[in-house]
Amino acid sequence: METHVDASNVPDVCKKVCRSWSWASNVVCRTKGTRILVGWDADVVDVMVLSQSDQVMHTQIVFKLDQKMLFCSFVYADNHYKNRRLSWNNLCTHHSFMKDNPWAIMGDFNSSLFLEDSLTSTSSSSIGMREFKECVNNIEVFDINTSGLHYRWTNKQKQGAVFKKIDRILGNNSFIDGFPTVAASFHPYHISDHSPCILALPSVTREKPKPFKFVNLLADKKGFTEEVKRVWETDVQGFAMYQVVQKLKALKTPLRKLFKQQGNLHEKVKVARNNLDDCQHAIDNNPLSLDLKNQHANFVKMYMEAVRDEALFLQQKSKVDWLSLGDSNMKFFHNVVKVKNHRSRIFSIWDANGNLYEGGMVPQVMVDHYTQFFGTAGIINLDPLPDLFVNVLSSQKADAMV
């Protein structure tokens, strides 16, 4: 962004930076200089420039290793808010083509999105901020999980210094769904006035299974009460609370199995809806068929149960209780769950020695830290020394308390 490279010098500059890379710029959209310059390693990715303007370049990126695809838009918005309207309209138009495809938008938007994005912010939003926020809401994107500097631009003046967050990386829900471990890091700006940014798409492998979580909808399923009764009637020796804990642990396996028997809740809704549609088309052609009417009653019941199970499942995951089950706004639930999971992910961490770890190395760093902090397991004598407690209860009072 903001390369300050003359159009005639673009090929020479690209060769000096990375000789073997492929390059694209929006120099044809500019009368002076080059605003956006994109380079890529053709051995790693295939990049196709879909469209471009003097403020935005839209690309399609395909990773050769696994053929994963994403759409990425590089933005260098104009300094004046009136001219930035062309960029916002461009993004809104491109959004209609994205549909459910993974889409990331990154660059210099030359506008804050929230009041806290500026160190010397006022109590009200400017016209430029309101128009930028309206665009972000319309194209349904949000900030990617970010680490590093908060203020990504500064005028570097001693008197009247300005710090703002105008560089950012946005993404839609499909992008988070396809690349769940994605994260952005903004680094120190050194001699520049903008912070360089790295968008990382690490591949994090899960070594251990997910922890058990009870799914509320199981309480109404056939076999749930029987399994709870069977486990609760087993004989466990020990204190009462120890018995409760052991029986709860024993319930994990049968409840996992019961939930697995429910199948794919989202797919069951689709199948039930298609069956109901087909049946209603058949009734429309043969309204007097009693068999079709009986089938229709069963399909309606199956569809309502499938929708209810899906809504309960998503409602529990999203922790949103105010939306009633009668409102089948499944997209809302999906979006809340994905955004919540993405923002709660820890992408990078520093250890006690100041070393930075990212991606799949983060869990082991945490384990090593607390292993060293708390110490390792060993043989511990639980019998207190005779002189440990000076003031003690008498045997009579102690027995009474027991």
Q: What residue segments make up the domains of the chain, in order of their start? A: 7-200
| Average pLDDT over the chain, rounded to an integer | 85
| Residue linked to tokens 């251990």 | 208
> 319-342, pLDDT tens digit by residue?
655 555 445 556 667 677 777 777
> 335-394, pLDDT tens digit by residue?
777 777 777 888 888 888 888 888 778 888 999 888 888 876 777 777 777 777 788 889
Look up the pTM and report it: 0.59
CB 184 within 8 A of CB 198: yes
What pairing do the DSSP bridges indicate for beta strands 183-186 and 146-148? parallel
Question: What's the whole-number mean pLDDT along residues 292-299?
Answer: 90
Structure tokens belonging to residue 400: 């009474």
Q: How many CA atoms lie within 13 A of 331 on its CB side?
A: 5
> 97-116, pLDDT tens digit by residue?
888 899 999 999 999 888 88
> 309-325, pLDDT tens digit by residue?
988 888 887 765 555 54
In whole angstroms, give the CA distance from residue 241 to residue 234.
15
pLDDT of residue 206: 47
Q: At what angle do helices 127-139 and 81-98 cross, to 10 degrees?
A: 0
Structure tokens belonging to residue 366: 């945490």
Structure tokens belonging to residue 344: 């709660």
Residue scoring higher pLDDT (184 or 205): 184
Percent of the chain clearing pLDDT 70 (strictly above)? 92
Q: Which range is least confidently modeled, 125-129, 203-207, 249-253?
A: 203-207
In whole angstroms, give the CA distance from residue 142 to residue 311.
24
Which are the contacts of 209, defined by CB distance < 8 A and separation ≥ 6?
A: none
Other C-beta atoms within 10 Å of 293: how many? 13
Question: What's the whole-number mean pLDDT along residues 180-195?
Answer: 86
Instruction: Please give the class, per CATH, of domain 7-200.
Output: alpha beta
Q: How many CA atoms lie within 13 A of 63 on its CB side?
A: 11
In whole angstroms, give the CA distance from residue 356 to residue 48.
34
Give phi and psi for 361, each to the nearest 5: -80, -15
